[in-house]
Chains A and B, each alone.
Chain A
Amino acid sequence: MKISPPRIWRERYNYYMLRITQCLDCGRASYPTSLTCPYCGSSNIRTVNSSGLGEVITYTISYFRIEGQEDEVPKVIALIKLREGAIVLGEVVDVGLSEIREGLEVEAVLRRLKIDGNSGLIWYGMKFRPIIGAGIPT
């Protein structure tokens, strides 16, 4: 067993939703959630669900290969700035290698993050895909 049942259960809302910390003092948003604002240290914060919408700051097309995950390469990995201001690292899926670009508008979507062999759990969580109408010719 490689995927821990308690772990994906305990953290499911953090995986299934893009929950961010909004600082009520400095106003900045951060991801993932934390007890204090990572920017100003304030504990005057609230946890909210992000709209899931954001844009690609920069990206890399990765050919880094990991045993058992050959069907996921090449993989597009990006730094994404959410509308709420938080910066997240994520995988961009359903994007052609010639379509991915800086500034591409993306939305958070529920996908399989990992699968534990043939008999273990499936771990679901947020990835990103281009929003329909993001300027990609169809």
Chain B
Amino acid sequence: MLSSNTYIISSALIRVGRYFNKSYKDLIRELVAELNKDLPIHDYIDYVVVSNVFSDSILEQLDISTMIIQELNLTPKPAVRVEAGESSGLMALKYAHSLIKSGMTSTVLVIGVEKLVEYPTTVVNKYMVRLLNSDVEGRYDIVTVNEAALLMKLYMKKHGHSREDLTIWPIKMHENAVNNPYAQLRNRITKEQVINSQIISDPLRLFDVHPLGDGASAIVLTNNKELMSKVGTGCVELIDVLHASAPPLTHRSDLLSLPASKYLFSKLGNYGVDLSDCVLEIHDSYTILAYLIVEELGLSDRGKAPYVVTDIKNINLSGGLKARGHPVGATGVYQVAEVHRLLTSGLGSIKLNNSWGLVHSMSSIDNNAAVALIRRCG
């Protein structure tokens, strides 16, 4: 029996990290083994949507979704890869959601996978440039971390913050990640460690920047109610996935605004989302972006986010991109899987009673942004 709603009925994650001894196929095999504990995916998956950003640059592999289907012996089931920069994970979710909402498909496996540690950092960095406009930033090899650094300076100047004032976010993220078994960096850090870490792009330091790690995560979406009782330990409803784009950084009237994210957050009221009863996962690829997102969400006045984030509960309980890690194409799927766990069987030892989950993702400095709205079932 098919529902008019779409549900996330199962999720699988591996800890983000350095899997030198495992290929992307190995990582996906592990995910599938976990999903198969309930019911073999062969028996119920209709479609596979893969989120991956760097398969052609790092893995030298196109049509990676078919390679995955073949690896899993899922032929003749169809598969497709979705890429929209750092928002790819949520875009894969949107693609899957659309397949189900349109009635074309009933059950979709969404896989996010990225292998970032196949090469030394300086090689991977070369590909990071490609997330920005090759005609604008690309000619100078400007990367998002540079733009984040520019915004951090503007923010500090405009609101009178010292560098030290801005250390609270990474400290909080590392604290949160201690409890997330899937986080890459599960160690507490101090203010001194943040401000004395190596400069990446002044004033941004190593501890303001997401780490590089491999990752793979999966969720199962369905409108088949019968499956919900057979598979997984609990379900949440995927209300919608919203997506928007923004003008390039240099065309924004307020450089410290995130126009695409702001636009999406303005739509939340239409869904009756109550942020105070919400688990939040936001795209904190760089410290400054976390503060700007918190402000765009209306959780803080402009320029005050560093003072209020300590008191914001249930934000990036995973540790965020900063500490859980940011295996680029897989990140959005991790965020959704984490929210699924938080609202059902628990993420590690953390379990919440919130009614809502909000996952936010964006590419570079809000070039595009996406929001997934999730609601506890029943």
Q: Which residues in A have some Cβ–Cβ distance to B below 8 Å?
A: 11, 14-15, 30-32, 38-39, 57-69, 72, 75, 77-79, 86-91, 113-114, 123, 125, 127
Q: How many angstroms between the C-alpha atoms of A62 and B125 in the bound complex?
A: 13
Q: How many angstroms between the C-alpha atoms of A14 and B142 in the bound complex?
A: 18
Q: How many angstroms between the C-alpha atoms of A90 and B146 in the bound complex?
A: 11
* Chain A residue nearest in CB terms to B250: A87
Q: Which residues in B have some Cβ–Cβ distance to A below 8 Å?
A: 120-123, 125-126, 129, 135-137, 139-143, 145-147, 149-150, 153-154, 157, 198-204, 247-251, 253, 255
Query: Residue A90 contacts which of B121, B135, B140, B251 (CB distance < 8 angstroms)?
Result: B140
Interface secondary structure of A, over-half rule: strand
A58-B150, A61-B201, A64-B146 in contact; A38/B141 too (CB < 8 A)? no
Q: How many angstroms between the C-alpha atoms of A65 and B135 in the bound complex?
A: 20
Q: How many angstroms between the C-alpha atoms of A88 and B250 in the bound complex?
A: 6
Q: How many angstroms between the C-alpha atoms of A123 and B139 in the bound complex?
A: 9
Distance of A48 from chain B, by nearest CB (Å): 17
| CB–CB B140/A79 < 8 A | no
Q: How many A-B residue pairs have CB under 8 A?
A: 95
Which 3 A-B pairs give the minimum distances between C-beta atoms?
A60-B149, A67-B122, A62-B201
| CB–CB A61/B202 < 8 A | yes
Q: How many angstroms between the C-alpha atoms of A66 and B247 in the bound complex?
A: 27
* Chain A residue nearest in CB terms to B248: A38
* Sample of 6 more A-B contacts, CB < 8 Å, known A38-B251, A127-B140: A61-B202, A64-B145, A66-B126, A77-B140, A78-B150, A89-B137
Residues of B within 8 A of A123 (CB): 139
Distance of B161 from chain A, by nearest CB (Å): 14
Residues of B within 8 A of A58 (CB): 150, 153-154, 157
Q: How many angstroms between the C-alpha atoms of A46 and B376 in the bound complex?
A: 53
Residues of B within 8 A of A11 (CB): 135
* Chain A residue nearest in CB terms to B121: A65
Residues of A within 8 A of B203 (CB): 60
Query: Residue B122 contacts which of A15, A38, A61, A66 (CB distance < 8 angstroms)?
Result: A66
| CB–CB A63/B199 < 8 A | yes
Distance of A79 from chain B, by nearest CB (Å): 6
| CB–CB B129/A32 < 8 A | no
| CB–CB B126/A67 < 8 A | yes
* Chain B residue nearest in CB terms to A34: B251
Q: How many angstroms between the C-alpha atoms of A10 and B221 in the bound complex?
A: 46
Q: How many angstroms between the C-alpha atoms of A64 and B251 in the bound complex?
A: 25
Q: How many angstroms between the C-alpha atoms of A86 and B248 in the bound complex?
A: 13
Residues of B within 8 A of A62 (CB): 145-146, 149, 200-202
Q: How many angstroms between the C-alpha atoms of A64 and B132 in the bound complex?
A: 15
A62-B201, A77-B142 in contact; A38/B247 too (CB < 8 A)? yes
Residues of A within 8 A of B199 (CB): 61, 63
Q: How many angstroms between the C-alpha atoms of A75 and B150 in the bound complex?
A: 13
| CB–CB B150/A77 < 8 A | yes
Can you pick out 23 interface pairs between chain A and chain B where the beta carbons lie within 8 Å of each other? A14-B135, A30-B251, A38-B248, A58-B153, A59-B153, A60-B202, A60-B204, A62-B145, A63-B198, A63-B200, A63-B202, A64-B146, A77-B146, A77-B150, A77-B201, A79-B250, A79-B255, A86-B250, A89-B137, A91-B140, A113-B140, A114-B139, A127-B140
A67-B125, A114-B139 in contact; A31/B250 too (CB < 8 A)? yes
A31-B250, A32-B135 in contact; A63/B201 too (CB < 8 A)? yes
